[in-house]
Amino acid sequence: MTYAEQLSADQARIESSIAEYVDSLWPFGNLVESMSYSLLSGGKRIRPILTLASCRFCGGEVTKALSFACGLEMIHTYSLIHDDLPCMDDDDFRRGRPTNHRVYGQATAVLAGDALLTSAFEVLAKAPGLHTDQLVLAVRCLSEAAGPSGMVAGQILDMVATDRDSTFEQIQTIESLKTGKLIEAAVQLGCIAANVEGERMQALTIYAQKLGLAFQIQDDILDYDGDEAELGKPIGSDAANGKVTFVTLKGIVGCREMVRRLTEEAVEEIKQYEESGFLCWLAEMLAERKK
Ligand code: GRG
């Protein structure tokens, strides 16, 4: 199987597992419809793909990592729904479609996000085929990454960083929390599912830190000069909001260089391992992404 085929197969696994979970819910009002609208709307599934790939890299059975992967994607989806709300970024489009609150209204969008955040931990705690210790470790890993010392901390720092004098280090700190922590958790959840710690988990965590930063810089590049049709949302929102980004601090050429360097460093961290092929390929692919 080629790496591209493996990626498609894993994406299909994730889609059907998420769809199965949503189908199992009792459709109170339009809550489940609103959750499904954002959960099953063409996301790239990068984070759950990383979880499955890390589990494989550690010699684990990928089916054992599937619930962790889906729970993580639920957290990511909740964060996007809430981030798009009028009280936050006030965005009208995501993935080429109206944002959740534009379709279902703000109150339902808030509840859909809340429900996904809660469902994520339900799905983790019920992951089949794993020891209770692994389930507890996974819940701990994801709650630390998503909560007030992780993604939510990054979001509040981003909200208050209206200062046009923000430095590169300040922006890097915000992004490593807001975007980076879930990407780190993605690989760590794969290790936990495979019951592997130590050197491999450490190498994967550094790989994820580099990858996460490159991913965010690429996001800023795409907001500056991406293709709106391909991205599924208007570009230039950072500039319109007067946001300090990696592009305003380092310029487009500087940002492209940083993405290249960070990708090389990420690959360098894991390439000594025979099983690293897919993860190295994925890092290269993300550096070239257009959406
Ligand atoms: C509201 C608590 C709370 C947190 C929001 C992650 C986040 C924090 C906001 C998302 C805003 C944003 C555009 C961040 C930049 C990087 C990023 C996370 C992009 C979206 O992730 P992708 O590209 O999205 O993986 P898809 O659509 O593929 O799922």
**Which pLDDT value is given to residue 280?**
98
Please give the distance of CA 180 from its chain centroid, rounded to a whole number: 8
User: Distance between CA 109 and CA 166 in Å, rounded?
Assistant: 31
pLDDT in the model for residue 163? 65
The CATH number assigned to the domain with range 3-287 reads 1.10.600.10
Tell me, what's the pLDDT at 165?
A: 76
All structural domains of the chain with their residue ranges: 3-287
Low-confidence ranges of the chain (pLDDT < 70): 162-164
Sequence-distant (≥ 6) Cβ neighbours of residue 185 within 8 angstroms:
47, 72, 141, 142, 144, 145, 146, 150
Q: Give pLDDT, residue 65.
A: 98
Distance CA 150, CA 147 (A): 5
Q: Is the CB of 151 under 6 A from ligand 1?
A: yes
Q: What is the pLDDT of residue 166?
A: 86
CA atoms within 13 A on the CB side of 131: 7
Question: Which residue is associated with the tokens 């599924």?
Answer: 232
46 lines ligand 1 (CB under 6 A): yes
Does the beta carbon of 178 sit less than 6 angstroms from any atom of ligand 1? yes
94, containing H or E segment: strand 93-94
Condensed to tens digits (0 to 9), the pLDDT of residues 93-105 reads 999 999 999 999 9
Model pLDDT, residue 92:
95
